[in-house]
Amino acid sequence: MRIEIWADLVCGWAYVAKRRIERALADWPGPPPELHWRPYRIDPTAPSRPVRLAEALQDPQVDAALSSCGAGGDEVPAAARMRAAAAAADEGIGPRFGAAWRVDPTGAHRLAALAYRQGGAALQDRVVESLLHAHFVAGEPISDPAVLARIAADAGLPADVLAGDDGTDEVADALLVGKARGIVASPTIVVGRSALRGAQPPEAILDLLRGATDSGPEDEDGPVERYRWAESLLAAGDALGASRLLAPVLAEHREPAVLELAGRAYFASAQLGRAETVLRELVAARPDDAYGRLLLGRTLQRQGQADDATGELRLAAAMDAGYRDAASRWLP
């Protein structure tokens, strides 16, 4: 069994959730589940350079964003932070608790992802503990390369593990997967296909574990799951994210269903050259695909290829009466 914790490492309730999960697992009678920390962002506009939190909180939007983690609610931001600090004290986190910096946590999320890749759940958990302690107890900026290098070295990773771009794509893809899976709060605790939003008490976490019978996706990076996540993102209006998640699937699998989804995502995100390439391949493999020809016609039209576009639109209208009205709107 695996517990996924989707959380932003600058969310105080993520630290509280970590302690509550640990307390729940101390009473769990079965084999200990694997913990897997996954990224979420509560403050996507955080600057690359750390800013003193007291200064950042002068902006009401920043104040609200940083207070949006946890179980949710309509609390005043200052009250929400006080409640998180009180919960942290109850969990023995301290002696003091509270961030001193507004930071972009991308590097911290990369370090957590690389720790999981290189040393599994146990190493990742140690790294996450160090990151949370640095941010909330020691008051350090966990976007600072020196802070991250020290945490990496203390965990037995190379101090320069973040020197390149390793882990960047992994975190970006995971953020998209979380969006496709409907993760909308930090922390969200997921077991199989069941989830708890917020830093729930140990009793609720144990109930989640007892009731989890579906193991969920076996291989989140596998082609089937990536196709499904891309489909969900496209339905939600994130065509660019859908095309990103689908890219490795498209590289290995040129089946018509993949080509069509890629064509839709590329068209909707204005990647018209790529849309034309996959849609031409689609109609070559499936010449009677009226929808493929309709979309190819629209793609060509948007690129100024009027003659070719007209031909494809006329074919779509002739093949399927259901597309006749749609095609006629774009025919000269």
pLDDT in tens, the chain (332 residues): 899 999 999 999 999 999 999 999 999 998 999 999 999 999 999 999 999 999 998 988 888 888 778 755 566 778 888 999 999 999 999 999 999 999 999 999 999 999 999 999 999 999 999 999 999 999 999 999 999 999 999 999 999 999 999 999 999 999 999 999 999 999 999 998 899 999 999 999 999 999 986 555 555 678 999 999 999 999 999 999 999 999 999 999 999 999 999 999 999 999 999 999 999 999 999 999 999 999 999 999 999 999 999 999 999 989 988 888 777 788 77
Residue 218 lies in a domain: no
The tokens for 30 are 């079965």
On whether both 170 and 296 belong to a single domain, the answer is no
Residue 240, classed as helix, strand or coil, is: helix
Burial class (CB in 10 A: 0-12, 13-18, 19+), 36: middle
Question: What distance in Å separates the CA atoms of residue 65 and residue 77, rounded to the nearest whole number?
Answer: 9
* CATH number of the domain residue 63 falls in: 3.40.30.10
Which letter does DSSP use for residue 28 in this model? Answer: -
Q: What are phi and psi of 77, to 5 degrees?
A: -50, -45
C-beta separation of 98 from 37 below 8 A? no
Question: What distance in Å separates the CA atoms of residue 298 and residue 290, rounded to the nearest whole number?
Answer: 12
On whether both 47 and 160 belong to a single domain, the answer is yes
Number of domains in the chain: 2
Residue 38, classed as helix, strand or coil, is: strand
Question: What distance in Å separates the CA atoms of residue 247 and residue 79, rounded to the nearest whole number?
Answer: 44
Half-sphere exposure of 65 (CA within 13 A, CB side): 20
Helical (H) or strand (E) element with 87: helix 77-90
Residue 74 lies in a domain: yes
On whether both 278 and 228 belong to a single domain, the answer is yes
pTM: 0.91
On whether both 65 and 193 belong to a single domain, the answer is yes
Q: What residues make up the domain containing 51?
A: 2-211
Residue 282, classed as helix, strand or coil, is: helix
Torsion of CA 203, 205, 206, 209, to 10 degrees: 160
The tokens for 331 are 């025919």
Residue 217 lies in a domain: no
Give every strand in the sheet of 2-7, ordered side by side: 34-39, 2-7, 188-191, 194-197
pLDDT of residue 79: 83
Domain boundary, last residue among 179, 211, 243: 211
